[in-house]
Structures are given as C-alpha cells and as structure tokens.
Structure 1
Amino acid sequence: MIKKGIGRQIVMHYFIVIFLALMLVEVVFLFAIRAYYYDTIYNMISSHIDVTVRSALISTNSSDYNKEEYLGQIVSLLKLPESELQILNGKGEVQISSSGFGVDKPVQTSDIPQALASGGTAKWIGRQATTGEPVMAVTTTLQQGGGQVYLARFVTSIEKVNQRLTEITLVSMAIIATILVIVLIVSIGLANSIVRPINNIIAVSAQMAKGRFDVRVEGDYRYELGEMGSTLNYMAEEIVRSNQIKDDFISSISHELRTPLTSIKGWSETLDSGGYDPDETRIGMGIISKETERLIGLVEELLDFSKLQQNEMKLTMKRVELRELLKEIVLNVWAKAELKKVKLRVESDGDYFPVYGDANRLKQVFLNLVDNAVKFSHESSVIVLHLSIEDGWVRADVRDSGIGIDEENLNRVKDRFFQVNTQGGGTGLGLAITQQLVELHEGRLDMTSELGVGTTVSVKLPLLEGEPQPEAEPAVQPGLPAETEER
C-alpha cells in the first residue's frame, strides 16, 4: 500500500486515466465485434433472400397448386440450413414452418409490421418465446397479390455467437487487467522517480531551516525538480553570502562607531581634568565636534537605509534644476578634493536640465557619488560631472580616472553592506541607498569601470515635461576654462 502523499496521487490519477481509457476502448470494441457478428448473420440471410425469393416466385405458380402445396413448395425452395423458415400471413399467423412444428399464437415481434410497412426486409433480435433461446429473425415480404400477403421469416439461433462474444469479452478483460497491472507498476516507478527527489529536497530544506546552510541538494535532477534544487542551493549560497556581509558590516560599523567614540571619550576626560591653555582646548573641542558629526552621518545613513527597506522614505517632489544642483555639489566637495589636488569639472550639453524630484535626496545621491569618486581618485586627477539629454531622460555622468573596480566586484558593489575595500571605512550602504533613491525618482543608476583606468556612474532621471530642449554647447561650462575646477 502506497502511503499518503503526492506519490499516491500520481499513481491514482495515472491509473484512473488509463483505466477509463481502456474501459472506453473495451466498450467500443465489444459493440463493434457484436455488430460485426450480427451483421454477418443478417447479411448472409439477406443475400439468400435476394437470390432465392425471385427464382422461387417465378418457378412456382400459385394457380398450379392448392394453398398447402403452394406454401410447401415455397418452403422447400427457400429453406436455409441451421435456420427455421416460417411462412406467415399478413396477421402474423404461421401458415407453415420448415421445422414441422405448428405455432398456435400469431408472431408479434417487431420485424413483422416493419416488413409489411416497408414491403422489404426487417430484422429482430431477442429470445424465443417458447424456449427462451436467443435468436435473430429476418422477415421479408414473399408475395402480395389478390389481397393475400405472405411473409417469409427466417429464424436462426445466435446462442453460439453470444458464447463467442462472451469468450472475446473475457479475453479482452484479462488483457485489460494485465495492462492495468503493468500500468500500476510503471506508475509506482514514475511516482517514486518524482517523490524521491522531492523528499531529498524537503530533507535538505529542513536542514537549512535549522540553520545548516552548508548542506546542498545533491543529484542531477531534470526539469522543474532540477530548477527547484538549483534554486534552493542558490538561496543557501545567498544566505551564506548575506550572513558574511552582515558579519563584515557589524565588524565594520563597530569599528566605525568605536573610533569616534574613543576620541570623544578621551578628549572629554582630558578637557575635564583642566589645566590646558585655550588653544589645546579649542583643538580638543574641534575633534569632539568632528567625530560627533561623523557619528551623526553614520546614524543617518543607517536610518535612511531602514526607511528605504520599509518603504517609509517620504519625498518632497518639486522642480529641480540638475545643473544648479551639481554646482552646489562641487562647492560642498571642493575642500575634500583640494586635499588630494583633485579637480572637479562640470560639463553640459545645454542650459536647462529640469527634473521632478526631491532636491535634498538628489543632492544626497550626487554627494555620495562625487565623494566616492574623490575617495578613489589619484592625486592631481580630474573628476568630470557631465549632463546631457537622451530621449526624454536627463543623464548625469560622474567620471573619474581612479583605481577602478574589477568585474567581479562591479556586479556586487551596489549590494547592501558590500565594500570593495573593507579598510576604507563606511557602512557599505552608500551605493545601495543611492540606487534606491534614484529608483524612487523613477530613474536608473548604471556603473561601468575598468580596474586601474577609472569608473563612470550614470544616473538617468525623467526629463520634466513641457521644458525646452537644450541646444548643443561647448563641452566646458561657459565662463570656466578647461581643466579648471568649479567653485
């Protein structure tokens, strides 16, 4: 007995479908074979009637014989081996029979009125009233003239035919039973071929549910089962990777928080002890202020990420001129770029680049991108902020000629908590937040990079409708010479 489950369902459904199909074929076959046998008997009698009746009527003249002699002559000419020939009048009364036995009651089977009505041949299948034997009766109009109607009725037994049909039925049922046994065996094998991989996948998923993400679905399964196993393995790998990233993030953020807290605590204790001149006190307070701002920045980044993950980020949407916003970005980052002697240059293909968005969040996007560009640029290099319009989109490119990113890390650099250089500080959330902010503005963020050559980050935002299209201009912003930083 197959235990409850998908295996039993497969076996039962497969078995029922085959069983119903075989039963349908069996019924059609039995009806066809029965009709074949019965039609063969009928056609044989009909052929005999067609051949003999005409010749019998021509060779026999009723005026030459009395009634009994005439009917006897007809019987001797028309009789058929293994069949009883009855001559009936129009009322169905048997006038004479080839068997020699008389019939007291008129024959009332359906072939009599049918033959009389059509003037041709009719058939009836049933049981003999006196013996109960299954018979077939074929009746034809023999003579009709002078108001006198005679019918020739051939009655033949079909008991042997029915016995043969019963034998055929039993043989066919035995064949069906054999086929069903084979189907049952095959369906059980088929069910096991599906259930075993599923049980294996269930066992592996149960292990994963307990926290064992080192286990994998083994076996080269095909089709949907193979896809299910591969998906489960991929999920485990992603969980392991996410856990590793989370652990790296916790380690990194712990370090990021501990360093400024240590400085704040140290200078607070130092200043609390007193005895320092105003210059030293001012230096200490400056360090405390700087580290506090750093802590605030880390906390705000974490809060922004949390809001984005929970879809709680609220945007104040209005018209934003992207070119003016990039000017502000250049001014904000200039001091940091100056320390590395990195030049910032804004280029544009027109005067107006309006978008519909939250100015503060867009400023956060480009501040993060430009800050990263400065962080990973070589000294005395140039960072270009280029604006253009493409098919209803405002495109802003941030291009640097810094250290670049290899292909493997480029595919993961926008993942949350991921950092190419874990020693560079930060939470690894900057680009993840940036991408989600761009998507909230119905835009796209793309990155291309080559190790040792540089990186280009492209932000595409929908152009504000109804604004004039810009005309082509020189690559460098008007009023600023080439290779000159914008301040």
Structure 2
Amino acid sequence: MRLVTSLTLVDRQWYSTLMVSFGVAAVVLGFAVFSGLFFIRTIVRPLGQVEATANRIAHGDLTTRLPDAPYDDEIGRLCKAINQMAEDLTKTERMKNEFISSVSHELRTPLTSIKGWVETIANIRDPDDENYRKGITIIRSETDRLYNMVEELLDFSRLQNGIKLNCEVLDFVAEATDAALFVEARIRQEGLHLVYDEPPEPYPVWADPARLRQVFVNVFDNAIKYSPPEGTIFFTLTRTATTVTASIRDQGRGIAPDDLQNVKMKFFKAKNAVRGSGIGLAVVDEITKALGGTADITSTLGQGTTVTITLPIYHAGQEHLHEPI
C-alpha cells in the first residue's frame, strides 16, 4: 500500500512559525536595544553628570550646577538635591568670608586704639597727666574687648568640634541671678536699666554652670549692644510643669524679618549688626541644644528683640539621658 500526500501545508506552517519566531526575536531585540538606550540616556548619563558635578563642587567650584532633569523621578530629585547643596555651600562660603572680614575689622579696631595710646603714653612723663589716665583706661577697656572676642571665637571653635559639658543639678534661678548681677554694672555704665524680679522658689535643671552662665551673658551682651540710650532690658524667668524659661527683651533696633531666620547660623551677621564677632547667638544655640533645650528669637524692627531660653525641668535619672558631649 502506498500513501502519497502533499507537504505544502506543512511547509507553509513551518514557514509561518519561522517567520513568527523571527518577528518575535526582532521585537525582543528591538525592545532590548531601546530599553538599553533609554537606560543609558535617563540613568547612566545623568549619573555621570551628577558624579562630575559633585567632583567639581568638592574641588571648590561652587558655581557649577546640574541642568534640570526632564522627569520628576529619583534622578531628577537627586539633581535638585545636588543643586540645593551647591546653593547652601555658596551661601555658607559667602557668610564665612563676610565673617572673616568682619572679625578682622573688629580685631583691628581695638589693636589700632591700643597701639595709638601706647605711643601717646610713651611720651608722657607725668602719671597724673589726664591723657595718661585716659589712655590707661582705654587700653584696659580695649584689651578686655579683645580678650572677650578671642574667647568667644575659641568657644565657638570648641563647640563645632564637640565640647564636654560638666553637668550637675543647678538652680536655674540662682544661675540667672548671678548672670544678671555680673552684667548689671556694665548695663548701668552704658546708661541702661535692668528690670528683673527674682522668683522666690528654685527651678532645678540639669546643666553645666559655666556654659549656662555663658548663655545668659552672651544674650545680655547682645541686648546691651543693641539697646538705645536710657533703654530698658527686661529679664523674666518662668516655669511650667516640664520646662523653665529665661526671657531677655531689649528695646533696640530689632532684626529684619529676612535676617531673623539666619541669626543663629554660624558666620551670619545681620545687615544692621553692630560691633562684635557676630557668633554670640550661634554659641547660645549650640549650648542650649546640647543641654536639651531651645533658643528662640522674636523681633520687631524699631521695637526690640526677645531671646527665650528654654530648658527641661530636672527629674531623677535625667543625668543618664544627656551625657556630656
């Protein structure tokens, strides 16, 4: 028996299957090429730009920026973060340069005065001469000013690098009263008035006495410098069930709204700032944070500024929560 059949249909089916397979392979290959190119264009190339830009910023070129990414994805957000970082670094660098220039000027002023009066005194033979006594007084005053400025700079440097706090249980009221007594003579000498009602009961806190005194003195120093003649400085202590607060308010020129958010930043000096290093409030903020508290500043132009220091009330076991840093 012989069976004869045509293979045309089989060949056609085989050919169709082969063509479909080639078509599917071409589509898969095309998709792979397209996705690879898309990956390179949207991820690899932008990441290369980010790396190159970050390296330029790291080497000091703070003017370089990344182009805005066309998509709001991870790469786009990374580009925005890099650009924002560059903006912040530029701002910090500018403030640092202004700070160095300002401090250099502040240091040069008393040094020039001291040098001039030393030369004047050197030509005076009579110790009872009025210029002799005046020169000695100015030299002493300017030397104290230099000493305080250098100490403030050193304290700020130590705080930036980490400073050890020798904390103990303190009476917040007693420490505040001691600070007020310490600056009272200077307040009177500047023709100002201090209003302070000492609370009758103690306010216990866990703090470093030297650093807490420094916080009060720095805030008082700012209030004195910015107070008008015959102005009044108000010093108020309050407490709640969980916190104690010291508020120092002056009647000075105030701080501009656009400067207020930056006055606690290192190197920042407001446009209407007077003499000084300009880092007193930065030191206050660093110490207060280290003690577990906050330093808040409110101000109105032409009416004055209020600095509020808040610390937690001491409770048993708190010494284990805030180890010295």
TM-score, reference length from structure 2 = 0.84
CA distance in 2, matches of 1:399, 1:264: 33
CA distance in 1, matches of 2:164, 2:61: 39
Partner of 1:208: 57
Q: Write out aligned runs for 1:265-414 (5 A).
A: 265-279=115-129, 280-311=131-162, 313-347=163-197, 351-414=201-264
CA distance in 2, matches of 1:281, 1:358: 42
Q: Write out aligned runs for 1:66-465 (5 A).
A: 169-191=17-39, 192-221=41-70, 222-279=72-129, 280-311=131-162, 313-347=163-197, 351-421=201-271, 424-465=274-315
CA distance in 1, matches of 2:228, 2:287: 28
On the 8 A contact 1:348/1:388 being kept in 2, the answer is: no
CA distance in 2, matches of 1:170, 1:347: 98
Change (3 A) 1:398 1:165: farther
Q: Which amino acid aligns with 2:111?
A: L
CA distance in 2, matches of 1:349, 1:284: 43
Q: Which amino acid aligns with 1:306?
A: S
Secondary structure in 1 matching 2:276 = coil
TM-score, reference length from structure 1 = 0.58
On the 8 A contact 1:347/1:384 being kept in 2, the answer is: no
CA distance in 2, matches of 1:272, 1:454: 44
Shift of 1:276: 3.1
CA distance in 2, matches of 1:269, 1:347: 47
Q: Which amino acid aligns with 1:219?
A: D
Partner of 1:35: none
On the 8 A contact 1:267/1:288 being kept in 2, the answer is: yes
Structure 1 residues not aligned, in runs of 5+ = 1-98, 101-158, 467-487
Q: Give the stretch that moved more between structures: 416-425 or 292-301.
A: 416-425
Shift of 1:168: 6.3
Shift of 1:335: 2.8
Secondary structure in 2 matching 1:374 = helix
On the 8 A contact 1:346/1:385 being kept in 2, the answer is: yes
Shift of 1:442: 1.3
CA distance in 2, matches of 1:262, 1:382: 32
Change (3 A) 1:249 1:176: same
* Structure with more of its chain in strand, by fraction: 1
On the 8 A contact 2:66/2:83 being kept in 1, the answer is: yes
Shift of 1:204: 3.2
CA distance in 1, matches of 2:273, 2:299: 21
Q: Deviations over 1:207-242 (max 9, x none)?
A: 434433223222344222222222222222222222
Structure 2 residues not aligned, in runs of 5+ = 317-325
On the 8 A contact 1:252/1:422 being kept in 2, the answer is: no
Shift of 1:436: 0.7
On the 8 A contact 1:385/1:396 being kept in 2, the answer is: yes
Change (3 A) 1:160 1:465: farther
On the 8 A contact 1:326/1:346 being kept in 2, the answer is: no
